[in-house]
Amino acid sequence: MPLRPIVRTDGFLPIEDHGLIGDGATAALVGRDGSIPWLCLPDFDSRPFVAGLLDAERGGSFAVTPVGLQSSAQRYLPDTAVLVTDLQGPDGRLELTDCMTLRSGADLGEQVPAGRGELLRLARVVSGTVEVDVRLEPLDGVQVRQELGSWRMHWPAHPEMQLHLWCSHGIGVGRDGSIGGRVRLREGEQLVVTLQWSGQTLTRARSAPERLVEQTAAAWRDWAEHIDYEGPQRELVRRSALTLKLLDHASTGAVMAAATSSLPEEIGGVRNWDYRYTWVRDAAFTTYALRRIGMRAEADSFLAWTMRNVERDERTSILYTLDGRRPGAEWEDLTLSGYRGSGPVRWGNGAARQVQHDVYGELLDVAHQWVRAGGEVQEPLWRALGELTEHAVANWRTPDHGIWEIRDTGRPFTYSVALCHVAVDRAIGIAEALGLSYPRERWQAAASEIRATLLEEAWDPERGTFTEHLTPPGEGERGGLDGSLLTLPLRRILPADDPRMVATTDAVRRHLDAGDGLLYRYLHADSPDGLPGEEGAFLLCSFWLVDNLTGQGRLDEAHELYDSLCRRANELGLLAEEIDPSTGAFLGNFPQAFSHVGVITSGWNLARAEAARDGQDDR
């Protein structure tokens, strides 16, 4: 990978200039400048230990970088989450290898934490001479004391945690409370620094850091051998699978929506949300994608986690913390300025308390996948699923906040109504498959009514397209268009090649066009969401467009669009939630699970369709 100059704006690297490392419990972002500006301890959704990603001056970071850094590039060791950053200084080049170390013999396919609670940074000079600046500046002040050759830290946010920093070369404590120093290294010399929070000894990191890196890489490679995919963009699909695994909470099976909080959907805007949670709707899309490429253990763990939440949760939530609880109240952190001044920084997520009727269908769809995979539905779970189905039957006409979680007056969104149909349809399917008792005539009548009403009241005959919400005849203006309309075939409401869906696909493509194959979720002028400002193009909507084109047999168009979207990944194969159409820069939280789900699912659908076409041509 060619080295590129380091460019900062407002003191920040671009979002796309970061890589992700992790161990199934937490994750860190590693910048192309050798800094780690984001690390939550001990879990993904814990308070950040460093958060320079959200405030370059006060957020803190963990840096290993050449003094006078000029250019750099990043790469993963193939089929691993071991990240290598090549850093060019004025007089030499440094190779920095980062990973969260894994236990010897760790099996990443098991629902057992494989991590050692340790972040290892191994720096080696590959040419010339490099003066390396090593510096750890936590977000919150820590009390530091030297202990057995390492630095022990007391962190007020987690006073019970045993935090140790060890460096192979001499560093000290600065007046500002940071731990660090500068070390001059010649070609062939190396520096090792490790941060540990598990309370274990630092012996192996000190004596055999290279073996720890190789042990960790071997565990990732063993896991990646199970990825089953030979379609278009093979390497990016494999990297997307690895990225989803990095967002997978090993001990529970939950998959985070993204690794970060409060990265803005508009620079300087207020659309900044905490995505370190698991949305129920993500479960259905993610498990579908994982199962397509052979990741059955992860899909089953995620399904089981979701079913446990359904069974015990009297009032179904839209999203959950990684341990299956409801997130705390959303609040604004006024001590941090936000990425490039894009405040407020938020912790928690207020969407957890919204009304979103699609949750019934999302959960029943997950349950349906669970049954198809051989999962059992005992009486308590069936009772809970039956209650969800009854909620869908009772509430499908009631306005809600929708898939896009608007912070405005609710509407009877087409996607929400469609998912209420999905809820009843999948409940019937589960009952029939397992011989369970259910009110057959009433549920079947409800499913038919919901679908018929949706196809009539969401359809605008003048524009020849479905619209974002239901409008009964003679009752007000038709709604605008939104990207979730493209999911109607994916949720089996009607086929992609149905003439109404073909027309809707083309209408959405025209109306929400952001240029070069990108789509907005919706236009705020047509679909008010209660928030000021704008946002970028939403990547998953474009992948849904690929799926519709594929389902309509427009394979050349689909392939061309799919390749153009995949080219938007950064040099590491990572994608954010949104793209700034004017610059191509990443926006929103990063890396975004939904975007990588799109890479996998659209690639798999396209590969299958192209294989079928080629087989037909051969005959």
3-state secondary structure of 211: helix
Which pLDDT belongs to residue 287?
Answer: 86
Q: What digits encode the pLDDT tens for the residues 351-375?
A: 888 889 999 999 899 889 889 888 8
Q: What digits encode the pLDDT tens for the residues 31-67?
A: 999 999 999 999 999 999 999 999 999 999 999 999 9
Q: How many CB atoms lie within 10 A of CB 611?
A: 12
3-state secondary structure of 339: helix
Q: Are 29 and 37 in contact (CB under 8 A)?
A: yes
| pLDDT greater than 60 at residue 617 | no
| 618 — pLDDT class (breaks 50, 70, 90) | very low
Q: How many CB atoms lie within 10 A of CB 380?
A: 11
| 230 φ/ψ angles, rounded to the nearest 5 degrees | -135, 25
Which pLDDT belongs to residue 274?
Answer: 96
Strand partners, 176: none
Q: Which amino acid is present at 475?
A: E
Average pLDDT, integer, range 545-571: 98
What is the 8-class DSSP label of residue 350?
A: G
Question: CA 19, CA 98: separation in Å to the nearest integer?
Answer: 10
Provide CB contacts within 8 A for 326, sequence distance 6+.
317, 320, 352
Which pLDDT belongs to residue 615?
Answer: 82
Provide CB contacts within 8 A for 606, sequence distance 6+.
231, 232, 546, 550, 555, 558, 559, 562
Provide CB contacts within 8 A for 584, sequence distance 6+.
568
Q: Which residue has the tokens 């594929």?
A: 550
| pLDDT greater than 50 at residue 502 | yes
Spatial CA neighbour of 299 closest among 310, 308, 286, 311: 286
Token pair, residue 194, equals: 């490790």
Q: Are 377 and 385 in contact (CB under 8 A)?
A: yes
Spatial CA neighbour of 467 closest among 482, 452, 477: 482
Which pLDDT belongs to residue 204?
Answer: 64
End-to-end CA distance of the chain: 43
| pLDDT greater than 90 at residue 304 | no
Q: Are 324 and 305 in contact (CB under 8 A)?
A: yes
Q: Are 309 and 320 in contact (CB under 8 A)?
A: yes
Q: How many CB atoms lie within 10 A of CB 61?
A: 24
Which pLDDT belongs to residue 205?
Answer: 66
Q: What digits encode the pLDDT tens for the residues 120-139?
A: 999 999 999 999 999 999 99
Q: Look at 485 and 323; give whichever has higher pLDDT.
A: 485
Token pair, residue 291, equals: 């199962």
Which pLDDT belongs to residue 619?
Answer: 35
Which pLDDT belongs to residue 123?
Answer: 98
Question: CA 37, CA 13: separation in Å to the nearest integer?
Answer: 10
Q: Are 309 and 326 in contact (CB under 8 A)?
A: no
DSSP per-residue codes, 527-575: S--S--S---EEHHHHHHHHHHHHHTT-HHHHHHHHHHHHTTS-TTS--
| pLDDT greater than 90 at residue 114 | no
Question: CA 100, CA 213: separation in Å to the nearest integer?
Answer: 9
Provide CB contacts within 8 A for 256, sequence distance 6+.
44, 45, 247, 249, 275, 276, 277, 278, 322, 593
Q: What digits encode the pLDDT tens for the residues 330-339?
A: 999 999 999 9
Share of the chain above pLDDT 90, in %: 76
Phi-psi region of 80 (alpha: psi -120 to 50; beta: other; left: phi over 0): beta
Q: How many CB atoms lie within 10 A of CB 39?
A: 28
Q: Are 454 and 418 in contact (CB under 8 A)?
A: yes
Average pLDDT, integer, range 593-614: 95
Token pair, residue 24, equals: 């199934």
Token pair, residue 469, equals: 């919400």
| pLDDT greater than 80 at residue 379 | yes
Q: Look at 478 and 590; give whichever has higher pLDDT.
A: 590
What is the 8-class DSSP label of residue 343?
A: P
Which pLDDT belongs to residue 464?
Answer: 95
3-state secondary structure of 515: strand
Widest Cα–Cα separation across the chain: 79
Token pair, residue 500, equals: 């109404």
Q: How many CB atoms lie within 10 A of CB 148?
A: 9
Distance from the Cα of residue 164 to its chain's centroid: 29
3-state secondary structure of 506: helix
CB-side neighbour CA atoms (13 Å) of 469? 26
Strand partners, 465: 460
Helices first, then strands: H and E counts in the chain:
13, 28
Dihedral over Cα of 44, 48, 50, 55: its sign: positive
Q: What digits encode the pLDDT tens for the residues 171-218?
A: 999 877 789 999 999 999 999 999 999 877 566 667 789 999 999 999
Average pLDDT, integer, range 494-517: 97
Helices assigned H by DSSP within 113-257? 203-207, 209-224, 234-246
Q: How many CB atoms lie within 10 A of CB 97?
A: 21
Q: Are 546 and 565 in contact (CB under 8 A)?
A: yes
Spatial CA neighbour of 60 closest among 44, 47, 78, 42: 47
Q: How many CB atoms lie within 10 A of CB 595?
A: 28
Average pLDDT, integer, range 298-308: 84
Q: What is the mean pLDDT of the chain?
A: 93
Which pLDDT belongs to residue 503?
Answer: 98
Token pair, residue 210, equals: 């290279």
Q: What digits encode the pLDDT tens for the residues 84-106?
A: 999 999 999 999 999 999 988 88
| pLDDT greater than 70 at residue 314 | no
In the chain, the domains with their CATH numbers are 4-224 (2.70.98), 234-618 (1.50.10.10)
